[in-house]
Amino acid sequence: MPKSAGLLLPNFEGAKLLLTYGHLMGREDGAYAGISDAAEEIEKKIHLRKGVLPRNSYYTNVDSVEVYGSDFINPNDPIPGDNMYDFLMFSNISNGITPNEHELLSIDEMNFYLFGTEQVIYNFEPDGARPEGLSFISVDLKGELIMAYPVSVRNHQGWIRYGELHISGIPHDDL
């Protein structure tokens, strides 16, 4: 993972090799196979960029929302239907007709889908997945392959946890 002055960078910079979309298939050179993929790396960055809450905070009314890459259309896509940046989360259709069928994500794509997934997480419904009155807790992203002959879809799928955030006036006791 790229580092700057000992700190993890907030986005994807400096990487030279492409990452597979999912299934822990690692990089294009086979490194990190069984360990990571684009969905996992985006998930890590989202958690790294999330603020740290005080120790006397807690959540109630915790709920989980399931999202798919094709759920949120990119309203700023200059060429809709070309398999490039069509959605805020990664989704790529393979049908023998649609151009740009791919399973390796470039650094530009990784950054786009990092920011797009954060939009889905933090924006309220219907533009995002966040229910009214709840705060983001965590996300679990996976890259999935959905096959329905003659079409297959490579998709990022997520489970986002939200809850009602409370900060207690009573400081948490030290252990």
pLDDT at 29: 85
Mean pLDDT taken over the chain: 88
pLDDT at 174: 64
pLDDT at 175: 57
pLDDT at 4: 36
pLDDT in tens, 155-173: 999 999 999 999 988 776 6
- Judged on CB neighbours under 10 Å (0-12, 13-18, 19+), 137 is middle
Please state the pTM of the whole predicted model. Answer: 0.87
In a domain, 172, yes or no: no
In a domain, 140, yes or no: yes
The pLDDT of 58-81, averaged and rounded, is 96
In a domain, 20, yes or no: yes
Count structural domains, the chain: 1
In a domain, 175, yes or no: no
The pLDDT of 84-99, averaged and rounded, is 95
- Residue 60 is part of which domain span? 3-167
In a domain, 118, yes or no: yes
The pLDDT of 114-135, averaged and rounded, is 96
pLDDT in tens, 131-143: 999 999 999 999 9
pLDDT at 172: 64
Q: Pick the residue with more confidence: 4 or 67?
A: 67
pLDDT in tens, 11-54: 666 666 678 888 888 888 888 888 888 999 999 999 999 988 88
pLDDT at 16: 60
In a domain, 78, yes or no: yes
Read off the tokens for 96: 């023998």
In a domain, 129, yes or no: yes
* Residue 146 clears pLDDT 60, i.e. is over it: yes
In a domain, 81, yes or no: yes
* Residue 3 clears pLDDT 50, i.e. is over it: no
Q: pLDDT category, 7, cuts 50, 70, 90?
A: very low
* Residue 6 clears pLDDT 80, i.e. is over it: no
